[in-house]
Structure 1
Amino acid sequence: MNRLKDATSPYLLQHADNPVHWFEWGPEAFAEARRRDVPLLVSVGYSACHWCHVMAHESFEDPGTAELMNELFVNVKVDREERPDVDAVYMTATQAMTGQGGWPMTVFATPEGHPFYTGTYFPRPQFQRLLMGVSNAWKNDREAVLTQGSKIVEALNERAAFPTGPAPSAGTLEQAVRSLADSFDQVRGGFGGAPKFPPSMALEFLLRQGGPEALDMAGRTLEAMARGGIYDQLAGGFARYSVDAAWVVPHFEKMLYDNALLLRVYAHWWRATGSVLGRRVALETADWLLAEMRTPQGGFASALDADSEGVEGRFYVWTPEQLRDVLRADDGDWAVRLFSVTGTFEHGTSVLQLPDDPDDPERFARVRAALLAARSQRVRPGRDDKVVAAWNGLAIAALAETGALFDRPDLVAAARDAAALLEEVHLDGDRLLRTSRDGRAGANAGVLEDYADLAEGLLALYSVTGETRWFRRAGALLEVVLGHFSDGSGGFYDTADDAERLFQRPQDPTDNATPSGQFAAAGALLSYAALTGSARHREAAQAALGTVSVLAAQHARFAGWGLAVAQAAVSGPVEVAVVGPADDPATAALHRAALTSTVPGLVVAVGEPGSAESPPVPLLEGRGLVDGSPAAYVCRGFTCRMPVTTPAALKAELDGAARAS
């Protein structure tokens, strides 16, 4: 019997009609494997994964393959986005055993969950042979199988903790810039070769670093991505990665986390350089998030699929003839040239690129609108509409800051709505649940990145709105981080001390597609310390950054967020307290001047003076108006310079602070 029909995960529901007798991950599956004395077959994937769909169509929907699976194994389907802990421990095993990883991930394990054979995608004939071979080994060479599983678990658990060093210094950060420069693609932007993933966290570090070389690498990469096929030139938003080195052909799935991170980086690029392209891409990506990813409850969905009508990229690609059919001859020929429609994908189709800005903006707007309208009639890719706490935290930070920078109160309101949903639905006492769907929370406990990214988002939302509710909620989340995730040596585990026990407690301090939980926690702890003066939070942040010093010289690409946080720590971070009535334009002007500053990791507190009903954020305590006028205080470590009352004076103070960083 397939047991997935009551799952909350859209990915699991995609498999609810398979002839495979799937279990969800849980004690029932383990008990059944022990009762039948057969191994577990654990299949891990996610809803937007193209090769997951391929393996599902070839094998899991095939009655003959399903019969073998049901007869020989207890089969467990796992959504890696719901259970990143399960994914992490088996991915570590898969990479250790095969030298590579990916999804779908296929793991054969003992009834205790110990892996003894792993892989990724298998074509159906090979998969069927594998099923029979593994089952035969289990039946006829059980001792060797169990020994293999025990050795793998023992080896993984005996791995030394990730090395750590002293708190990063200015020299560490300069070393990281040189490391990134060594792998920088001087021709096409980005780092390394194909495939190319958006290096969001490294770009954030380079923008904070701010020197000519750092800004050049960041700007060239951001422009190349925005002009390439990885960016949706019609609707905005970025695909997961480019299969080539030139950002031309994307892997078409669109993930919330990528777009939240890139939205923030493009907005910060504009803030640092005034880039017109950065402003356009930031606003288009924000509009895409609201139009395509927002759920009826106010959260943001996880992903859009790569496929539609069973074909990868079909929704997004065009032939010259299709453009001419929609636009007629003159505009069609112009669009073919403008978007470089020259057969860059498959079967004569192309993704749309924009190598150069159009010479006729009005014509471009008209053509773009017509193509977007025509594309809207196609079968749309599926949407995974579960709300993941961590990725919504990233979106909250990005939307709040982008709304503030570009005077878009609707974006700030969307960030506030998402924060309210997470507060109302995802919190169980002081503990965070990772996912929800249709306003109903899932049962999976939040992992470190959920607490850390949401705390980061709420602190950004507080800095933009001045609403202390978000500041206090962030503080409560960070208390759980300190109390339940610490490894006792300055780092953090990815799961809480009272979470489900797997064969290994996952801990990975390096960035992947998103900031590592450890670096995200360090960033939120550092900002919270700057707003409160808490030595405990700052010391925890500094300790968590110790791995940055180890990674900076040779592996800076995998420590981008840690480097960005370290840059803030080295510069202070600088603190700005803006004091004045919320409805006073002078308060708003000072507040905006603070938010548009490029000082690395700057924290901003804003509030009315002497409000007893809502105790102020500690950075505001003791700060008052100056001769009855709103005022801004620029501080480091709660030691403040003389207050200023004009945006120009505040900008001068912050420019001085930036030079001193």
Structure 2
Amino acid sequence: MDDETRIEWREWGPAAFAEAADAEQPLLLSLSATWCAGCHEMDAETYAEPRIAANVNDDFVPVRVDVDRHPCVRERYNMGGFPSTVFVTPSGGVISGAGYLGPEGMRQVLDSVRETWAERGGDAGRIPRALADDPTPVGELSPAIEAHLAGQLGEKYDEVHAGWGDDAKFPLPRTVEFALKREREQALRTLDAVRDHLFDDVSGGFFRYTSGRDWSGVHHEKLLDTNAALVRAFANGYLYTGDDAYRRPAKRTIDFLTDDLWTGVAVGGSVGPAAGREYYALSADERAETRQPRVDLTAFAGGNALAAEAMLTYAGYTDDEQAKRYAERVLDFLEAELVDEDGAVTHFRAGDDVGESLLLGDHARVVAAFTRAQQVLGWGLDVAESVANRAIAELYEDESFIDGPREGPGLLDRPFRPLDDNVEMASALCDLAVLTGDARYRDVARETIEAFAGAADRIGVQAADYGAVAARLCGDPLVVAVADDPGSDLHRAALRVADHEKVVVPNAGSVLTDREFESGTATVLVGETARSAATPDELMTQVSAATRRLGTNN
């Protein structure tokens, strides 16, 4: 029995569901995270209450789920945030669900679920609509998709406080990147607000979100995924402006990832909020003498891939050798520990605890990381291809990707097609198509984006990167092919071209074999048009001519 909660928690897995079926009892799923303050509060205030614990242990099969370690469970049973408190049948159907529940609220829900179960049993469970295996809303790919989402930027933008929306404020780094090419002032003002309100000036790194529209009510957890994505967004802000106000937070966040969250070989998953809210008002010396926040050093595949990609993005714009070295170490870890010889990615390894394999989010981010490595370092393409090919073979069904294998207890055998992970994979495949010269990857990316295009008018600003990938697929990519090795002046200049969606191809002659490239030159390619340059200044002139032709906003 757990001394803190007094609940006899089972681990997520077939055994718990089999136990519930044998006992003819529903399960109580507690979806939690190490970084989640509300989860720990619910343990202390609700689950630790003796009568509640006794009722749960007597009438339910309680299961604790770490949502970082079980992302497919998180997607199927998330009640809108964490903690999520979900009652399910032994077959996995949802009877009832809520978020945080205090003692009185939990008593009421336990009584209600007991009554429902007594009346209807297993028939009380429902299958969430997203798991009904209905066809995706296929539609035509057109520039109208980008235009719609660009319009959403204006409609949802907060002119007073920056950011998008009129409630809680999340940093939305991918929306920022979409806006950098379409509504740059909005993007930069939002980066300013994120830096001013969510950045930890003492230890570095960004907090997760604020509960207030004016960026008040900061929630102080620091997650790897959020921080890695913001490193990339701030680096891209620096790319367009050359302003150190965007470079410095990116650099200090890389320092946070490679210090506070560094495991020795990779980056850990999160830093939770401190025990007292006043902790983040203390100086560095004062913090050192205070109880430290909870740290989860589990090295997750997707988060580490995103971190490596972000560090390489920053290094490509700044020549920062430390960022490059740490990115290489993370890539080495991924390749050695989490990517097998057939391209399957394992979610994490922590001692004897091994995570699931073949999760779409992990594969998408690993492909993106190694395609970025190919552009910046000149290697990584073989890993990117292997991981992409395995995802296409195992997860690509009916012209879009499911989030993982159709297997496991509960609702895990039901396919789920997350828009965000599909978009990330499609974006990575666009880059991979250029770097390999294999049009098949672009075809898969196109079909994936088209699979959701029938509902494009209902996609909101939080998924604005869908519009970015749709735009890339509607036109020819901007490619800068460098004849020479990575590190040359022309290669470094190519990486600094002010378009974060460009693709840079070093050693171009070995990949783009249908063309000849003269040593000491770089070629700007847009469709069938090629413009050659021998110096960085000439390259920038040719890029400007090419982007005017494209009508981009650089």
* Range class of TM-score, shorter chain: over 0.9
Distance 1:500 1:478, change over 3 A: farther
**Greater CA radius of gyration, 1 or 2?**
1
1:599 equivalenced with 2:499 (yes/no):
yes
Equivalent residue number for residue 345 of structure 2: 432
- 2:416 counterpart of 1:507: yes
Distance 1:499 1:423 in 2: 26
Q: How far apart are 1:88 and its partner, in Å?
A: 1.4
Q: 1:22 to 1:499 in 2, by over 3 A?
A: closer
Question: Whole-Å Cα distance in 2 between the matches of residues 154 and 380 of structure 1?
Answer: 39
Distance 1:451 1:556 in 2: 25
Q: What is the letter of the counterpart of residue 536 of structure 2?
A: P
Cα displacement (A) at 1:132: 4.1
Relative distance call for 1:155 and 1:185 in structure 2 (3 A) is closer
Residue 279 of structure 2 is aligned to residue 305 of structure 1: no
The answer as to 2:231 corresponding to 1:263 is: yes
Correspondence for 2:279? 315
State the TM-score, normalizing by the size of structure 2: 0.93
Alignment map for 1:66-215 (pairs within 5 Å)? 66-91=53-78, 94=79, 101-138=80-117, 140-141=118-119, 144-149=120-125, 152-153=126-127, 157-158=131-132, 160-169=134-143, 171-209=144-182, 214-215=183-184
Equivalent of 2:490 in 590, 594, 601:
590
Partner amino acid for 2:139? G
Alpha-carbon distance between aligned partners in 2 of 1:256 and 1:154, rounded to the nearest angstrom: 29
Shift in Å at residue 51 of structure 1? 1.0
1:498 to 1:427, Cα distance in 2 relative to 1, 3 A: farther
3-state SS of paired residue (1:235)? coil
Q: Letter of the aligned partner of 1:188 in structure 2?
A: H
Q: CA deviation at 1:581?
A: 4.8
Partner amino acid, structure 2, of 1:207: L
Cα shift readout 1:46-86 (whole Å, capped 9, x = no counterpart): 11111111111113334433222211111111111111111
| Alignment partner of 1:546 is 2:436 | no
Contact 1:303 1:384 in 2 (8 A): yes
Q: Secondary structure at the match of 1:271?
A: helix
Alpha-carbon separation, structure 1, partners of 2:72 and 2:163: 29
Q: CA 1:373–1:506 in structure 2 vs 1: closer, same or farther (change >3 Å)? A: farther
In structure 1, C-alpha distance between the alignment counterparts of 2:488 and 2:382, rounded to whole Å:
22
Q: Residues of 2 paired with 1:159 and 1:437: CA distance?
A: 33
SS at match of 2:355: coil
Q: Indicate the residue corresponding to 1:473 in structure 2.
A: 383
1:225 and 2:194 correspond: yes
Q: What's the counterpart of residue 461 of structure 2? A: 557
User: 2:540 aligns to what?
Assistant: 651
Compared with structure 1, are the counterparts of its residues 64 and 246 closer, same or farther at alpha carbon in structure 2 (3 Å cutoff)?
Answer: same
Which segment is superposed worse, 519-528 or 230-239? 230-239
For the Cα contact (< 8 Å) 1:107–1:117, is it kept in 2?
yes
Task: Report the CA distance shift for 1:621/1:465 in structure 2 as closer, same or farther (over 3 A).
Answer: farther
Does the CA-based 8 Å contact 1:179-1:552 persist in structure 2?
A: no
CA distance in 1, matches of 2:334, 2:406: 22
Indicate conservation of the 8 Å contact 1:44/1:80, yes or no: yes
CA contact (8 A) 1:52 1:104 kept: yes
* Distance in 1 separating the partners of 2:193 and 2:361: 29
Structure 1 residues 18 and 304, CA, compared in 2 at 3 Å: closer, same or farther? same
Give the residue type in structure 2 aligned to 1:603: V
Contact 1:205 1:567 in 2 (8 A): no
The answer as to whether partners of 1:599 and 1:657 remain within 8 angstroms in 2 is no
**Taking structure 1 as reference, are residues 126 and 416 closer, same or farther at Cα in structure 2, changes over 3 Å only?**
same
Aligned equivalents of 2:55, 2:513: Cα separation in 1:
66
Distance 1:16 1:393 in 2: 36
CA distance in 2 between partners of 1:463 and 1:449 (Å): 21
> Per-residue deviation at 1:251?
0.7
- 1:23 counterpart = 2:17: no
Cα distance in 2 for partners of 1:124, 1:166 equals 51
Q: CA deviation at 1:17?
A: 5.7
Residues in 2 aligned to 1:189 and 1:16: alpha-carbon distance in whole angstroms: 45
Tell me the CA shift for residue 157 of structure 1. 4.6
Cα drift, residue 539 of structure 1: 1.0
Aligned-residue Cα RMSD (Å) equals 2.4
Question: Contact conserved, 1:565 with 1:601, CA < 8 A, in 2?
Answer: no
In the aligned structure 2, how far is the partner of 1:375 from the partner of 1:272? 36
Shift of 1:190: 0.6
Shift of 1:624: 4.2
SS in 2 for 1:291: coil
Q: Deviations over 1:484-503 (max 9, x none)?
A: 11221x22111135677736
| CA distance in 2: counterparts of 1:621 and 1:498, whole angstroms | 44
Taking structure 1 as the reference length, the TM-score comes to: 0.78
1:365-380, aligned counterparts within 5 Å?
371-380=283-292
Match of 1:240 in 2: 208
Structure 1 pair 548/271, CA: closer, same or farther in 2 (3 Å)? farther
Amino acid aligned to 2:33 = Y
Contact kept in structure 2, 1:89 and 1:504, CA below 8 Å: no
Partners of 1:119 and 1:269 lie apart in 2 by 39
Shift of 1:452: 0.4
* Aligned amino acid, residue 68 of structure 1: N
Partners of 2:353 and 2:530 lie apart in 1 by 46
Contact 2:4 2:43 in 1 (8 A): no
